[in-house]
Amino acid sequence: MRFAMKLRKQFFSVMIALTFLLLTLPLRASAQTPDRLTALKISIWPEYDKPSVLVLLDGVLADASNLPRPISVLIPADARLYVTTWENPNGSLAPEQPAQQTRQDDGFTRVTFTTAQPRFRVEYYHDAVRGAPDKTIDFAYKSIGALDAATIEIQQPLKASNFAVTPATQTTRTDPDGFKYFVQTFANIAAGQTISAQIKYTKTDPNPSMPAPAAPLPVAANESNNWFLLIALVALGLAILLGFFLLQQRALATRPAAPTGSRNRKRGKPRAGAASVFCTQCGRALGADENFCPKCGAKRRAHG
């Protein structure tokens, strides 16, 4: 009898231990999931600097070990990815990181990139504004992993009126730039769960709240290039002229001078011994020692 009671107690003890293990197993598995987030802030800015919706995802990884490592988030399939990066310990953002995008069948695109810190940032633009001047935005965020706490902060455009969010937001705030924010909070979001919000407002002005800064005109760059080209051409021309001048000076310095004697001979008197007597018969010039003309044989006439 005592032995049976002992076995019964051991059986109940084992069953209680197994039950506790089964209940805590999902929590342990969730804690070890690399995609689990302790916090996620979703900032939704309609018509901020473009006519579309700018969405910023600021997340915190639950597992801060094994960094850097790749992480993934989901964005709408027709959204335009803008930034994937991480937040440094001092609060600044690291340079933009390359990302791989894989389109899924559920209307979302999986964005994967490597983060070196537990805090990360993803930004994208989504053409989700419908209607005018009464506008509607249907927002949806699908969580890949479990999410402990999520905050949705929706910015009202500066020139919008009749602004409303469904489900209703819990709090509002206004920043120094005059933007009003509507805030919703969620807790214990399961993997694969979708958070949704519908935004409605009236806005007749088609311009965004903060127009993007104009890109620098290419003309300024062309003018700068033209100045460099002009300076280079002038320098090249001066170098060519200087080289030509130096060559001319070198050529004049090395040219041989004409002999002085040859110039004097051209302008001087006839050489000594040159013929000055002519034959009276044929007119041939006679040398000083010729008494008879070698041509006609006439005798040289004596001069008195």
* Alpha-carbon span 53 to 124, nearest angstrom: 8
- Residue 300 falls within a domain, yes or no? no
Domain CATH number, residue 116: 2.60.40
- Residue 11 falls within a domain, yes or no? no
pLDDT at 108: 98
- Residue 240 falls within a domain, yes or no? no
Paired residues of 55 in beta bridges: 44, 124
Q: What is the mean pLDDT of each run of 10 residues along the chain (304 residues)?
A: 57 54 48 81 98 98 94 97 97 96 96 98 98 97 97 97 96 96 96 97 96 61 65 81 76 58 47 61 77 77 62
Q: How many CB atoms lie within 10 A of CB 71?
A: 23
- Residue 163 falls within a domain, yes or no? yes
- Residue 219 falls within a domain, yes or no? no
pTM: 0.62
Half-sphere exposure of 237 (CA within 13 A, CB side): 6
Q: What share of the chain is helix, strand, coil (3-state, %, to 5)?
A: 25, 35, 40
- Residue 244 falls within a domain, yes or no? no
The whole domain housing 41 covers 28-202
Kindly report the length of the chain.
304
pLDDT at 284: 77
* Alpha-carbon span 298 to 17, nearest angstrom: 166
Strands (E), the chain: 37-46, 53-61, 69-76, 80-86, 100-103, 108-115, 119-126, 134-142, 147-156, 161-166, 171-174, 180-189, 194-202, 277-278, 285-286
* Alpha-carbon span 246 to 40, nearest angstrom: 76
Q: Is residue 174 within 8 Å of residue 180, measured between CB atoms?
A: yes
- Residue 34 falls within a domain, yes or no? yes
Retrieve residue 7's tokens.
């076995």
Number of domains the chain is built from? 1
Q: Is residue 121 within 8 Å of residue 87, measured between CB atoms?
A: yes
* Alpha-carbon span 85 to 114, nearest angstrom: 8
- Residue 183 falls within a domain, yes or no? yes
